[in-house]
Amino acid sequence: MLFLIELIESVRGFIATGGNVLYFVAFALLLMWILMIERYWFLAANYPSMRKRIIGNWDAREDTTSWYAHRIRETWISEATEKLEQNMITIRTIVAMCPLIGLLGTVTGMIGVFEVMAQQGTGNPRLMASGISMATIPTMAGMVAALSGVFFSSRLDAKVKLAKAELVDSLPHH
């Protein structure tokens, strides 16, 4: 229990040092990871049964060579692709937005530095240090959030492309 209290205090201190923009970075990071975990869950738990059903329906068809059969095949592949790629654009967008949110923190922190400089002058570096940390910490947090998202979303994107290619290969058209 003491560990949780220390963790909460540490996070609270980090946010106080970095400014309120860190709440936006945290929200974007949470949303990105919820969406990525949902996609991994879909690929591991739901997609295999969907794939098996599509392949079973295709194999059960007597006609697999006509124009009509090919349109049905393309429809099934398209529906599966739509389910596979669901939320992927949103994930990529959030990954791209994380550094921009961090830069918003940089701007607000630098505004704080300029306010201190306007009021106190440049003679007291300690007063400017809090504004500078408020300018650099959100940028760092946004970049770290984006890096974690880039790595895992690119792996997820590769898995989606592989799943689609395997489905196309599993539905032979004669």
Q: Give tens-digit pLDDT for 73-115.
A: 999 999 999 999 999 999 999 999 999 999 998 888 888 778 8
Phi and psi angles of residue 19, each rounded to the nearest 5 degrees, phi first = 100, 170
1 or 83, higher pLDDT: 83
Q: Is the pLDDT of residue 25 over 90?
A: yes
Do 58 and 52 meet the contact criterion of CB atoms below 8 Å apart? no
What does pLDDT average to over the chain?
A: 90
> Of 143, 133, 135, 31, nearest to 98 (Cα)?
143
DSSP 8-state assignment for residue 113:
H
Residues in the chain: 174
Do 25 and 105 meet the contact criterion of CB atoms below 8 Å apart? yes
How many Å is the maximal CA-CA distance in the chain? Answer: 85
Q: Which two tokens stand for residue 142?
A: 């946004």
Task: Kindly provide the b/e burial profile for residues 72-92, where b requires at least 16 CB atoms within 10 angstroms of the residue's own CB.
Answer: bbeebbeebbeebeeebeebb
Q: How far apart are the C-alpha atoms of 127 and 130, rounded to whole Å?
A: 6
DSSP 8-state assignment for residue 85:
T
Q: How far apart are the C-alpha atoms of 106 and 95, rounded to whole Å?
A: 18
Strand, coil or helix: 173: coil
Do 99 and 143 meet the contact criterion of CB atoms below 8 Å apart? yes
Of the listed ranges 9-18, 72-81, 160-169, the least confidently predicted one is: 9-18
Mean pLDDT across the stretch 143-150? 94
